[in-house]
Structure 1
Amino acid sequence: MRLGLAANRLHHNQRDAALFRWLRACERGVRELALGLHAVGRTHDGIVRAGLLAGYDGLQRYPYGREGGLMKLVAEVVGMGPERTLDGAIYLIDPVDPSSIFPEAVALKRQCVIHGKPFISTVASARDWIEMERVHAGFAPDPGADDLLALEKQTLALIAHDAMKPQMLAFAAEHFDVLSRFDARVATGTTGQRLNELAWSRGWPAGREWVQRYQSGPMGGDAQIADLVLEHRCQRAIFFEDPHVPRQHEADIQLLERAVTTVTDEAVCMTSPRVAARWSEAVRLRARSQ
């Protein structure tokens, strides 16, 4: 597998920066998976300076961002032939760095969502993804990832835009056992109501909500859940976005996404039904192997 890799300046400009915290936790997993990391210039240079992934052939250097490095990652997520196609991207975002909203940064996420590939924007998401792929590859669970998979202590947000609500309901029905392991679930208006109706049809106690409902997205539900994330009361979000339809409440959507990146070591976010399903399957496999 090959992933694009980039990090805003905050996340690679000091020894304990987010990029290096992730690699120190997951370098063994990267090597076990023989993961190709196609790193934009300064991100690559920071890894080398930190002495991480030393001698690892899977680390490749791309041009600096100002020279088109991030743009090249976008094209390779879409696909540029067998030797130039990425399986997703890790982009560790500083939410107050202006470059995080440059067109190429926005396009990188959008193309990952369109093509059903992982877009990983936090340290917690990157750690979680490595462990998920290790489990699928048959490696023994990493005890260092146990905190990420302690679902019984976590709150999960389930959010879907209008065109994606059927996929969210299908996902919840297929993975109801895994999602029910969470200590709590939250959702915005209509999505929450439909998920509760699904849960009741599956035998969840009548009159007891499976998910706690907040306002609809346009009425501020995304902002309410963003506040939970910032207060460390919501640790994981599954957010099925429709990348093709302009949203009047785009600012609210971005607010939730920026909240996740603000608490980068704690919050995991998945934006693709395919990625979310693969994660849920890994949770089951990991539980059986322990």
Structure 2
Amino acid sequence: MKIALIAHDKKKKEMVELTKKFEQVLSRHELFATGTTGLRIQEATNLNIHRFKSGPLGGDQQIGARVSEGEMDMIIFLRDPLTAQPHEPDVTALIRLSDVYEIPLATNKSTAMLLFKELENLAKI
């Protein structure tokens, strides 16, 4: 599967912890991330990640373009709902695209864990 990993600044630590916990299952998939999130994950794991631009510089839109072209299978987007984001329209557009193209999207750690656990279960079959 092609999986996008995105995290707002206050959620990057959570994303790193999550990817470390599920590193084995994630290593079987093609991973994409926005710039800083991808860098932080790469520094903490052995995962190979294609990095797009930072979210505010168009990374969210780059991932959205992949969704619209049928080139993304899952999105993990750990959002910070308590901090205003300068690129909020891009965030909203990405969420809308995931709905339009029926791409599984987790916007919090609990939902991301459920999706990753399902990937683990599928790998056992």
Give TM class, smaller chain.
Answer: over 0.9
| 1:160 lines up with 2:4 in the alignment | no
Aligned to 1:197: 43
**Structure 2 match to 1:225:** 63
In 2, the alpha carbon distance for the partners of 1:285 and 1:257 equals 26
**Following the alignment from structure 1 to structure 2, what is the Cα–Cα distance between the partners of residues 261 and 285?**
24
Q: Which residue of 2 aligns with 1:277?
A: 113
State the TM-score, normalizing by the size of structure 1. Answer: 0.41
Residue type of the alignment partner of 2:71: R
Superposed displacement of residue 281, structure 1: 2.5
Letter matched to residue 282 of structure 1 = E
Write the letter of the residue equivalent to 1:245.
T
Aligned-residue sequence identity (percent) comes to 34
> Residue 248 of structure 1 aligns with which residue?
86
Q: Which of the pair has more CA radius of gyration?
A: 1
Structure with the larger RCO, 1 or 2 (CA within 8 Å, 6+ apart): 2
AA in 2 matched with 1:185: L
Q: Structure 2 residue aligned with 1:188, among 24, 29, 34?
A: 34
Q: Distance in 1 between matches of 2:43 and 2:99?
A: 31
Rounded Cα–Cα distance in structure 1 between residues aligned with 2:55 and 2:119:
29
Spell out, residue by residue over 1:155-190, the C-alpha distance to the aligned partner (whole angstroms, 9 max, x if none). Answer: 1000000000000000000000111111x1111110
TM-score between the two structures when normalised by the length of structure 2: 0.92
Which portions of structure 1, spanning 4 or more consecutive aligned residues, are displaced by more than 4 angstroms?
none
Q: Distance in 2 between matches of 1:160 and 1:197?
A: 15
Computed over aligned residues only, the root mean square deviation of the Cα atoms, in angstroms, reads 1.4
Residue pairs, 1:197-216, within 5 angstroms: 197-200=43-46, 210-216=48-54
Number of residue equivalences: 125
Q: Structure 1: which 5+ runs fail to align?
A: 1-153, 205-209
Unaligned runs of 5+ in 2: none
